[in-house]
Amino acid sequence: MTITKAVIPVAGLGTRFLPVTKTMPKEMLPVVDKPAIEYVVEEAANAGLDDVLLVTGRSKRAVEDYFDVAPELERALKNKGDDERLASVREPVDLATLHFVRQGRPRGLGHAVLCGRQHVGDQHFAVLLGDDLIDERDQILPVMLAVAERTGGSVIALLEVPRDQIGLYGCAAVSAADPALAAGLEMTGEPLPQADVVRIDALVEKPAPEDAPSNLAIIGRYVLSPAVFDVLEHTEPGRGNEIQLTDALAELAQDPSQPGHGVYGVVFRGRRYDTGDKLDYLKAVVQLAAERDDLGPDFRDWLHGFVTGLK
Ligand code: G1P
């Protein structure tokens, strides 16, 4: 099995980021000098997922245009001999083969994924959520793809969070997976400790901390078996009156003996930035800018003085 397709839902209203998202898709917010969505498409492409379906909605034209050629701009840059900027505007166009489907009514993440059914067909695929940026040095998708290929099931990315934050996420009850499953898998160049691949026993969307079965939160990377589509077709609206992907995966996890039904988790211990929240977005921009070869040295000098002055 080789997994080549990724589905990226981008139809959300971006209410956490108002007012700027009144007219600008949240996916286009700049993280240093590239929109957040470009990092996500890059991550997919780097993992060999070069067929990317963006599930869009109204007022997301800017996202579509960003991944398209811009002839006038390219001509102007070419005439000026500005090869570096020319390459930067061409880069998103050549990252992957992009497809678009409109979600119409925003009925939740599960519904957005279901909108990809026709495009994906009867094969495993990845889902990447745009609010989560995974540092390119700490790739998790290759490990998840390998677990899906070995098991034929679905795989979710998990992150340990403080108990009081678990209500912001889907939450997983887990047990030990067959140790052979993790053998030979690597993350960030290090062999993966066996405990990092787990079996999912149950899932609950945004539980109250006192009801949460663990402090393992679902983060926005999934590798899904096509069996999820049949389940999503009958998944009733859940939390927030939305069709929840978590609920569909919980149903798959209930009956792992059926083909394509087992669900596994990979616990992520690398660097992840949440760009959907204002404070975390600011942290992401500062961290990524400070680490850039071009901007980093000057920015770090300035930042040091700025922070010293704050105290
Ligand atoms: C969605 C999922 C949730 C998951 C989260 C990760 O929630 O429903 O299970 O933990 O993404 O970012 P959202 O953040 O869209 O409310």
Q: Is the Cβ–Cβ distance between 154 and 228 less than 8 Å?
A: yes
User: Is residue 308 one of the residues assigned to a domain?
Assistant: no
Q: Which of 241, 223, 13, 27 is nearest to 125 (CA)?
A: 223
pLDDT at 248 over 90: yes
Q: CATH code at 144?
A: 3.90.550.10
In-domain check, residue 68: yes
Give how many domains the chain has, as a whole number.
1
Classify residue 289: in a domain, yes or no: no
Q: What is the pLDDT of residues 185-241, one digit of tens each?
A: 777 666 666 558 999 999 999 999 999 999 999 999 999 999 999 999 999 999 999
Asked if residue 110 lies in contact with residue 244, where contact means CB atoms within 8 angstroms, the answer is yes
Q: Which domain holds residue 248?
A: 5-276
State the distance from the centre of ligand 1 to the C-alpha of 37, rounded, in angstroms: 16
The tokens for 125 are 């695929």
Q: What is the mean pLDDT of residues 158-174?
A: 96
For the CA of 246, the nearest atom of ligand 1? 9
Which residue owns the Cα nearest ligand 1 atom 10? 169
Task: Flag whether 290 is in a domain.
Answer: no
Could you tell me the pLDDT band of residue 19, with boundaries at 50, 70 and 90?
A: very high
Q: Is residue 107 part of a domain?
A: yes
**Measured from the CA of 217, which atom of ligand 1 is nearest?**
10
**What's the pLDDT at 164?**
94
From the CB of 43, is ligand 1 less than 6 Å away? no
- 116 pLDDT band, cuts 50/70/90, is very high
pTM, full prediction:
0.94
Q: What is the mean pLDDT of residues 146-157?
A: 95
Please tell me the predicted confidence (pLDDT) of residue 195: 57
CA atoms within 13 A on the CB side of 74: 11
Whether the per-residue pLDDT at 176 is higher than 90: the answer is: no
Distance of CA 196 from the midpoint of ligand 1 (Å)? 21
Residue 269 lies in a domain: yes
pLDDT cut 70: percent of the chain above it: 97
How much distance in Å is there from the Cα of 221 to the middle of ligand 1? Answer: 10
14: alpha, beta or left? (left if phi > 0; alpha if psi -120 to 50)? left
- pLDDT exceeds 90 at position 54: yes
> Within a domain: residue 307?
no
- 230 CA → ligand 1 middle, Å: 21
Q: Does residue 12 lie in a domain region?
A: yes
How much is the pLDDT for 194?
A: 58
The per-residue pLDDT of the chain, averaged, comes to: 93
Q: Does the beta carbon of 169 lie inside 6 Å of ligand 1? A: yes
* C-alpha distance from residue 215 to each of 8, 14, 210, 250 (Å): 26, 26, 11, 17
> Residue 138 pLDDT more than 70?
yes
CB of residue 135 inside a 6 A radius of ligand 1 = no
pLDDT at 188: 67
Does ligand 1 lie within 6 Å of residue 129's CB atom?
yes
